[in-house]
Amino acid sequence: MERRELARMIDHTLLAPAATADDVVSLCAEASELGVAAVCVSPARLPLAPGALAQGIAVCTVVGFPSGAHRSPIKAAEAARAVVDGADEVDMVIDLGAATAGRWTVVEADIAAVRAAVPADRLLKVIIESAALSTSAIVSACEAAENAGADYVKTSTGFHPAGGASVEAVSTMAQVVGDRLGVKASGGIRTAATALAMVEAGATRLGCSASRAILDGLD
C-alpha cells in the first residue's frame, strides 16, 4: 500500500486527558503534513482554531468516553454540542455493561439516541470495546450498531485494560457489517505492519497516535 493511501485511512488521534491546546495545534499541523483522513480529539478541545487543518481533513471527537457508562441523554447532548463545535465525525462508546450482560435492546437504544443527535451528513462511529467482549458479543454489538443507524463500528477506546484492536476482532466485525458500514481499528496500532494487518482483516479506518511512525514504516 502506498503511503498516501494508508494516510487517508488514518484518524490522527490525541485523547490524552492532559493534552493541552498547544498539543492540539501540533496534532493538527502534523495531520496536515501527513495528509490523514481526520484528527480525533476530546470534545473539550473543540472548536479547532480557524485554518488549523488542511482542507479535506475531517474533525472527529468522542462521546461517552472512555467508559460508555453515561446516560443516553447525556451522550446525545454531548454529541449535539460536538457537532455545533465543528465535529464532522463522532465516535461514541457503547454501554459496555449492558453489552456484557447481553442487554442488546439497551445497547441499541443508547446508540440510537446519539444517532438522533448527530445529523445524517456527519459520521457516527460506535466503539464496542471488542477486547472486552466474546466473539458472539462482538457480532451482537455490530448488529446493534447497524440497526441503530451507525456508519462505522470501531474496536476500542485504547483505554480499556482488556486491550485494543486485534486482527481477529476486526475480521469478525468486517464479516458482520459487510460493505454496509465501515470498520475502524483503534488501540495499540503503532507500526506499519500492524496497520497493514488491520487493513487486510477488513479495517477501512485506523485510529492512531503514532501516525508518522506508521507511515514512515512503509518507506
- Point out the residues that are catalytic: 91, 154, 184
Instruction: Answer for the pair 99, 127: CB distance below 8 angstroms, yes or no.
Output: no
Q: Specify the amino acid at residue 89.
A: E
Do the Cβ atoms of 88 and 60 come closer than 8 Å?
Answer: yes
The set of residues, in sequence order, having a beta carbon less than 8 Å from that of 161 and lying 6+ positions away, is none
Residue listed under C-alpha cell 468516553? 65
Give the chain as a DSSP string.
Answer: --HHHHHTTEEEEE--TT--HHHHHHHHHHHHHHT-SEEEE-GGGPSPPTT-S-TT-EEEEEESTTT--S-HHHHHHHHHHHHHTT-SEEEEE--HHHHHTT-HHHHHHHHHHHHHHS-TTSEEEEE--GGGS-HHHHHHHHHHHHHTT-SEEE---S-STT-S--HHHHHHHHHHHTTTSEEEEESS--SHHHHHHHHHHT-SEEEES-HHHHHHTT-
